[in-house]
């Protein structure tokens, strides 16, 4: 089941490596604003469209629309008014009215940007817009009959149905061929848009919204997308045949001496088209509108045979709104054949359906997961397709409508059932298939559905786990080897009262098993809709050979007396590859592979970031880089696709917390190598993150890298750096970054709120300094990192000396490091960094001076800072920074006699033309006439190389 998880990660967890990466719509994010948001008020004033002023700096030019259309909002409000005169009930749709879809003109990374926006105080949530795909595929005939009808006892259920008006099942899909002779009689028609109006016009085509639900002439459903995704109309006829197959599975006409029979009897299918007219289109759009429309016009069951592995809070809001209107959403669990949640099926209010074959075994393509509720046949399903034909399809797409039909018949038997009770009744009345699926116990739901048992509600009791919390007895929150852990469980009774409720914890299939010490607990009597905490916690001890990131899987069985009435699976990660600790005023997370702040960029759900004195996290991303060129650059920060970080480092030993014997400071130590990188250098790294506890350094953290050359050759020209994306203001708004030449440190401050801590960062070792202040959005001439972070950009920023010393006031990051230096075979170089958080620049500066002195006293490779004289630099390019090819004057300054080469390089670091190449120039200012090469329009860099380092100046060249 899907339940609330206390003290654990919700909607984000470890995912098996073979899980499919969620696909999202490019350059698009979904934001739900708080009612008080100024941006929301502006958007509403502008007719729910136009740019949002507060996001222009971050997103650039952009367009907006409602996640739910104005017509659908009207239909929802009308439906609420019809259901209840209570104004509080009528206004429940206000939340979905505040959800905005934003599409940018420039390239952005939706995952990373949405995580940034989620930190704003006026944002409830922000997320990418998932691409939701159909999950059923045509299949050559493998059977000569509809085996699944007998398997789920459908025909026996038909015989017990009462003589009542049909139940409406919404088919939110690619449209339905409503003219299909085996389906036409069971297609829903809107009574409010049927017949003749006062002027004797056909209401189906009179151009009037006769029933006042916001949709004109929606007499047999609605098409929300049309041919191009933006052309809605009142004809939900199919593009792709998928929807007709799903509709026929639910309600193909029974006993008409023709074709096939649907699983359900006394059911009308409501055609809601969310796929384009293209018969080959595999994705669906505007599904939120489709679900809400179906619920608003009277569907009590809504089938969704589509989805994505990406969870969406906006979709959950929509599903809860449909639930408030009395509709149960039934959805397919996905066809990736993996142990992963699939959405919308995995959302708690949804009845999630996995697929089985003719022998009640898991279909090879079906997902399995603790969020699955039930299973149903999904292989070789014969049903209707467009054009009056029939075909066999495979998929959880085909299993879901079987369950939707059963839910519809169950609702017909008892119209008083709420959506939650209907979902529980279907789950309670199943056939157990555990013995046929030993490896998937607890991950295929409660069993394979049974239409007759569900209609008759043979099992009238059902309870499920409402929430659980896991704690380790030693209180460090790590769940490591030999830890004793306690699990407290709360149970909700959904159906008939329980006389003597109790629960038991037993092992579920997993890569390890705990040793149970207390495995039983009591609930006692429970009335309907009652929620009760178990009488005691389950206790168990984790084994000594606990694997890293192990899957703790526990089956929770719920009984009334000796009768099993519910079952759930607890699945969570133990012995994680990261640790969170605090030994002074800073609390931070460090992982085993070179990241600081979080373990799971960009979701940032695994870890606590960098927190100062209880304040929210100030760090969005942090990580280590080492390299000799743009190619040979192992690192663990965001990459060419900003949705993902590079994974160059592999842990040698999992991170451990404790006291560092060399310094007597507490913190964490990790060992990793660069062996995961195709272009590795052959280095290993010991990383220590240590925190002083003396009062004068309570806001300081030392980060120490001992870099060892494990190759057989000397590595020359090494640079090592830390990248940190700081978000002091909401989503980084109002932040600025600068290099303090006097104290040798980077300063990050928020210009809008002086109460936010000031961050200081410094490289303390006696090596050449590298520093680059990054505008995350870029400024046209300096690269940004919202769209991507190419290795050439990383290398330029970490190897150019004290390069860009000031950012604009915007969302900022910093690159700080050391180099170049050489490292002989088997030799080790230690590099020491300090990070502090203090109240204002002056205090941060003073604390950094104390941190430097403390590092020296601790015997670390630190040294007093000697202010660096003005480095060699390019002062001026005639007409710059935007220039055309051809002759220009250039002016540059040298601090000492040196050879000089100035060339033009592209964003990948490739030379495109030499401008100056002289063997010996004296100190001072020099000016030369140069010829800018004719190259493709774009951003380039002037690169000046001297004895004393490399200087880069961004320029833009147009032919």
Q: Which member of 242, 245, 612, 743 is catalytic?
A: 242
Q: Is 818 helix (H, G, I), strand (E, B) or coil?
A: strand
Cβ-defined contacts of 715-718 (< 8 Å, 24+): 715/628, 715/681, 715/682, 715/683, 715/822, 715/823, 716/628, 716/820, 716/822, 717/628, 717/629, 717/819, 717/820, 717/822, 718/626, 718/627, 718/628, 718/681, 718/819, 718/820, 718/821, 718/822, 718/823, 718/829
Residue 173 is a catalytic residue: yes
Residue 449: both structure tokens together:
């559905």
Torsion angle (degrees, nearest 10) of CA 225, 229, 233, 235: -60
Q: Is 231 left (phi over 0), alpha (psi -120 to 50) or beta?
A: beta
Distance of CA 527 to the CA centre of its chain: 38
Is residue 920 a contact partner of residue 899, using CB atoms and an 8 Å limit? yes
Q: Alpha helix locations (H) across 159-277?
A: 242-251
Is residue 384 a contact partner of residue 178, using CB atoms and an 8 Å limit? no
Closest CA to 129 of 310, 298, 276: 310
678, 710, 714 from 675: Cα distances, Å: 8, 11, 17
Mapping DSSP onto H, E and C, the string for 519-558 reads CEEEEEEECCCCEEECCCCEEEECCCCCCCCEEEEEEEEE
Q: What are phi and psi of 811, to 5 degrees?
A: -70, 125
- DSSP for residue 643: T
* C-alpha to C-alpha distance for 214 and 245, rounded to whole angstroms: 29
Residue 806: both structure tokens together:
């000031």
* C-alpha to C-alpha distance for 238 and 438, rounded to whole angstroms: 40
Q: Which member of 173, 277, 360, 725 is catalytic?
A: 173
Residue 397 is a catalytic residue: yes
* C-alpha to C-alpha distance for 251 and 158, rounded to whole angstroms: 12
Beta partners for 918?
A: 900
Residue 911: both structure tokens together:
């030379």
* C-alpha to C-alpha distance for 648 and 366, rounded to whole angstroms: 33
220, 302, 317, 343 from 296: Cα distances, Å: 14, 11, 15, 22
Q: Which member of 69, 288, 397, 699 is catalytic?
A: 397
* C-alpha to C-alpha distance for 309 and 343, rounded to whole angstroms: 6
Residue 11: both structure tokens together:
């909607």
Is residue 542 a contact partner of residue 485, using CB atoms and an 8 Å limit? yes
Beta partners for 352?
A: 331
Distance of CA 748 to the CA centre of its chain: 28
Is residue 685 a contact partner of residue 656, using CB atoms and an 8 Å limit? no
* C-alpha to C-alpha distance for 433 and 439, rounded to whole angstroms: 11
Residue 347 is a catalytic residue: no
Is residue 894 a contact partner of residue 795, using CB atoms and an 8 Å limit? no
Residues that are catalytic: 173, 242, 397
């Amino acid at each position: 089941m899907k339940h609330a998880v206390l003290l654990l990660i919700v909607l984000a967890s470890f995912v098996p490596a073979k899980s499919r990466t969620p696909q999202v719509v490019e350059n698009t994010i979904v934001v739900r604003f708080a009612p008080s948001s100024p941006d929301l008020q502006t958007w509403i004033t502008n007719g729910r469209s136009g740019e949002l002023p507060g996001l222009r700096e971050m997103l650039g030019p952009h367009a907006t629309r409602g996640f739910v259309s104005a017509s659908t909002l009207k239909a929802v409000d009308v439906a609420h008014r019809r259901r209840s005169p209570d104004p509080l009930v009528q206004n429940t749709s206000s939340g979905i009215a505040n959800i905005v879809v934003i599409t940018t003109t420039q390239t952005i990374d939706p995952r990373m940007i949405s995580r940034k926006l989620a930190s704003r105080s006026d944002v409830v949530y922000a997320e990418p817009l998932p691409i939701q795909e159909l999950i059923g595929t045509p299949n050559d005939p493998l059977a000569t009959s509809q085996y699944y009808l007998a398997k789920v006892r459908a025909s026996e259920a038909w015989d017990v149905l009462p003589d009542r008006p049909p139940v409406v099942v919404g088919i939110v899909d690619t449209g339905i061929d409503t003219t299909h002779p085996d389906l036409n009689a069971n297609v829903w028609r809107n009574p409010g848009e049927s017949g003749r109006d006062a002027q004797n016009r056909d209401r189906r085509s009179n151009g009037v919204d006769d029933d006042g639900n916001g949709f004109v002439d929606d007499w047999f459903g609605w098409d929300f997308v049309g041919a191009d995704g933006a052309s809605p109309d009142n004809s939900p006829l199919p593009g792709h045949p998928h929807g007709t197959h799903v509709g026929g599975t639910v309600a193909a006409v029974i006993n008409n001496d023709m074709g096939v029979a649907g699983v359900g009897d006394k059911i009308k299918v409501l055609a809601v088209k969310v796929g384009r007219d293209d018969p080959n289109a595999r994705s669906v759009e505007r599904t939120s509108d489709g679900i809400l429309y179906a619920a608003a016009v009277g569907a009590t069951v809504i089938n969704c045979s589509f989805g994505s592995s990406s969870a969406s809070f906006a979709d959950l809001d929509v599903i809860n709104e449909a639930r408030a209107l009395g509709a149960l959403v039934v959805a397919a669990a996905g066809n990736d054949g993996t142990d992963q949640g699939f959405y919308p099926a995995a959302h708690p209010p949804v009845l999630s359906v996995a697929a089985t074959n003719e022998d009640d075994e898991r279909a090879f393509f079906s997902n399995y997961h603790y969020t699955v509720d039930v299973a149903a046949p999904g292989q070789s399903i014969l049903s209707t397709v467009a054009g009056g034909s029939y075909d066999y399809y495979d998929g959880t797409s085909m299993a879901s409508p079987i369950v939707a039909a059963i839910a519809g018949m169950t609702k017909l038997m008892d119209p008083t059932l709420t959506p939650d009770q209907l979902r529980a009744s279907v789950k309670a009345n199943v056939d157990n298939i555990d013995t046929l699926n030993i490896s998937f116990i607890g991950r295929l739901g409660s069993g394979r559905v049974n239409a007759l048992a569900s209609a008759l509600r043979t099992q009238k009791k059902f309870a499920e786990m409402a929430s659980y919390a896991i704690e380790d007895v030693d209180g460090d929150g790590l769940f490591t080897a030999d830890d004793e852990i306690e699990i407290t469980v709360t149970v909700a009774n959904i159906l008939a009262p329980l006389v003597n409720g109790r629960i038991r914890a037993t092992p579920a299939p997993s890569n390890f098993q705990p040793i149970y010490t207390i495995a039983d607990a009591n609930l006692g009597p429970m009335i309907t809709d009652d929620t009760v905490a178990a009488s005691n916690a389950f206790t168990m001890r984790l084994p000594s050979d606990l694997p890293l990131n192990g899957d703790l899987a526990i089956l929770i069985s719920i009984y009334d007396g000796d009768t099993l009435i519910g079952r759930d699976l607890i699945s969570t990660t133990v012995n994680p590859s990261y640790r969170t600790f605090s030994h002074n005023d800073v609390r931070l997370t460090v992982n085993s592979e070179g990241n600081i702040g979080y373990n799971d960029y960009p979701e940032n759900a695994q870890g606590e970031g960098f927190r100062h004195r209880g304040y929210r996290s100030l760090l969005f991303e942090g990580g280590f880089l080492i390299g000799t060129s743009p190619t040979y650059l192992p690192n663990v920060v965001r990459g060419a696709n900003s949705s993902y970080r590079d994974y160059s480092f592999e842990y040698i030993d999992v991170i451990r917390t404790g006291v560092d014997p060399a310094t007597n400071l507490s913190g964490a130590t990790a060992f990793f190598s660069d062996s995961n990188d195709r272009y590795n250098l052959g280095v290993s790294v010991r990383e220590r993150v240590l925190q002083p506890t003396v009062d004068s350094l309570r806001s300081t953290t030392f980060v120490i890298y001992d870099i060892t050359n494990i190759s057989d050759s000397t590595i020359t020209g090494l640079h090592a750096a830390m990248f940190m994306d700081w978000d002091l203001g909401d989503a980084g708004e109002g932040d600025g970054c600068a290099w303090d030449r006097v104290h040798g440190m980077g300063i990050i401050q928020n210009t809008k709120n002086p109460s936010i801590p000031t961050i200081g960062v410094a490289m303390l070792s006696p090596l050449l300094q590298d520093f680059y202040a990054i505008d995350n959005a870029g400024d046209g001439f300096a690269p940004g990192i919202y769209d991507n972070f190419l290795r050439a950009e990383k290398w330029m920023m970490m190897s150019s000396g004290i390069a860009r010393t000031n950012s604009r006031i915007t969302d900022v990051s910093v690159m700080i490091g050391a180099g170049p230096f050489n490292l002989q075979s088997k030799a080790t170089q230690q590099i020491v960094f300090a990070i502090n958080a203090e109240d204002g620049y002056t205090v941060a500066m003073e604390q950094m001076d104390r941190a430097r002195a403390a590092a020296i006293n601790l015997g670390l490779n630190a040294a007093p800072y000697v202010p660096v004289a003005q480095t060699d630099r390019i002062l001026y390019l005639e007409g710059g920074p935007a220039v055309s090819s051809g002759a220009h004057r250039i002016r540059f300054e040298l601090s000492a006699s040196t050879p000089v080469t100035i060339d033009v390089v592209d964003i990948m670091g490739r030379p495109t033309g030499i401008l100056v190449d002289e063997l010996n120039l004296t100190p001072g200012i020099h000016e030369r006439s140069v010829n800018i090469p004719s190259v493709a329009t774009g951003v380039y860099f002037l690169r000046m190389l001297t004895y004393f380092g490399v200087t880069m100046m961004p320029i833009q060249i147009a032919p």
